[in-house]
Amino acid sequence: MEALAALADPTRRQIVSLLAAGERGAGELAGQFPVSRPAISRHLRVLREAGLVQVRVEGQRRVYALDPAPLSELDAWLAPYRRLWAQRLDALDTEIARGRRARTQEDGR
Amino acid sequence: MEALAALADPTRRQIVSLLAAGERGAGELAGQFPVSRPAISRHLRVLREAGLVQVRVEGQRRVYALDPAPLSELDAWLAPYRRLWAQRLDALDTEIARGRRARTQEDGR
DNA sequence: AACGTACGTAACTGGACAGTTAATTAAGGA
DNA sequence: TCCTTAATTAACTGTCCAGTTACGTACGTT
């Protein structure tokens, strides 16, 4: 779950989003952001260390590509919690089906 | 996506995991960790501000409960990426089914 | 060989954050 | 009322991290 820390930064999430559309060179990525190129380089390093991106050296260019594996891992981490909001929606359905009577009783506070 | 930053900390993830099994008092939670109670109090505050937990004051106890809404939001954020590893698996399936012939044609990049 | 381009790394700065101990608020019980 | 218990808040410290500028390295071109 090292990916969570990497994805906690909005710039890095945006990089991931860009790479989801296809691979890009480092400079090409850096051009999309208001921060300096070294800053993007560091972000890419964090993403690389988290396994979220992979680099391919192509002449003097570095081409970055998204590796979805950690996202899949995150998805798997999330899985056991899924029943929680599914259940809540079920409860809501029940509520609606009942015509939403006697609400104050279970509302609490 | 503020939840990502909150979930980046392993202690907080564990708190979330504990609360998934049912609500608990603050001290009850603190007892599960090797850090001080104020530290847990701060973690709970971060989780509260991220909307991941809710407190209910019950006498002099604070009972914390998980609110799955931000997890659901995270799930939604993850959704568009899902095709990436699904596709990879599909490609693998296809690959196997076809006996691995004529590969370059459909790769498309 | 010399130069320009494309990145990365080094060194530093400011701000955020997790942890600690000590003080504060609030609820029960003697 | 006084004391204990439960928990948060305050104040402080150390560490990590994102950003900057400056420098280093490697590839390609002339």
Q: How is domain B2-68 classified at the architecture level of CATH? A: Orthogonal Bundle (1.10)
Give pLDDT tens digits for B67-79. 999 999 999 999 9
What share of chain B has pLDDT > 90, as a percent?
75
Q: Is B61 helix (H, G, I), strand (E, B) or coil?
A: strand
For A51-76, b/e burial (b = at least 16 CB within 10 A) is bbbebeeeeeebebebbbebbbbbbe
Token pair 């480092």 in the structure block, residue: A26
Listed as ranges, the nucleotides of chain D within 7 A of a protein C-beta are 5-11, 17-22, 26-28
Question: Quick one: A84 exposed, middle or buried, by C-beta within 10 A (0-12, 13-18, 19+)?
Answer: middle
Listed as ranges, the nucleotides of chain C within 7 A of a protein C-beta are 4-11, 17-22, 26-28
CB of B83 less than 8 A from some CB of A: no
CB of B80 less than 8 A from some CB of A: yes
Which sequence spans correspond to the domains of chain B? 2-68, 71-106
Give pLDDT tens digits for A21-44. 999 999 999 999 999 999 999 999
Residue A76, CB half-sphere, CA atoms under 13 Å: how many? Answer: 10
CB of B102 less than 8 A from some CB of A: no
- Please name the fold of domain A2-70: Arc Repressor Mutant, subunit A (1.10.10)
Residues whose CB is less than 8 angstroms from the CB of residue B11 and which lie 6 or more positions away in sequence, other chains included: B33, B35, B40, B43
Per-residue pLDDT, B22: 95
Strand D lies under 7 A from the Cβ of residue A10: no
CB of B37 less than 8 A from some CB of A: no
Cα dihedral angle (A30, A35, A41, A42), rounded to 10 degrees?
-150
CB pairs under 8 A between A and B: 55
Query: Phi/psi at B35 (nearest 5 deg)?
Result: -100, 170
Smallest CA–CA distance, residue B19 to chain A, in Å, is: 11
The counts of H helices and E strands in chain B are 6, 3
More confident residue, A106 or A74: A74
Query: What beta strand segments (E) does chain B contain?
Result: 24-25, 53-58, 61-66
Tens of each residue's pLDDT in chain B, 109 residues:
889 999 999 999 999 999 999 999 999 999 999 999 999 999 999 999 999 999 999 999 999 999 999 999 999 999 999 999 887 665 555 544 444 433 333 332 2
Per-residue pLDDT, A107: 32
**Which of A10, A74, A108 is the closest to B78 by Cβ?**
A74
Residues in B touching A68 (Cβ below 8 Å): 81, 84-85, 88
Residue A43 and residue A11 in contact, taking contact as beta carbons nearer than 8 Å: yes
| Size of chain A in residues | 109
Give pLDDT tens digits for A40-93. 999 999 999 999 999 999 999 999 999 999 999 999 999 999 999 887 665 655
Per-residue pLDDT, B88: 63
Query: What beta strand segments (E) does A1-109 contain?
Result: 24-25, 53-58, 61-66
Per-residue pLDDT, B89: 60
Per-residue pLDDT, B67: 96
| C-beta atoms of A84 and B78 within 8 A | no
Residue type, B73: E
Residue A63 and residue A25 in contact, taking contact as beta carbons nearer than 8 Å: yes
- Residues B20 and B27: their CA atoms lie apart, in Å, by 17
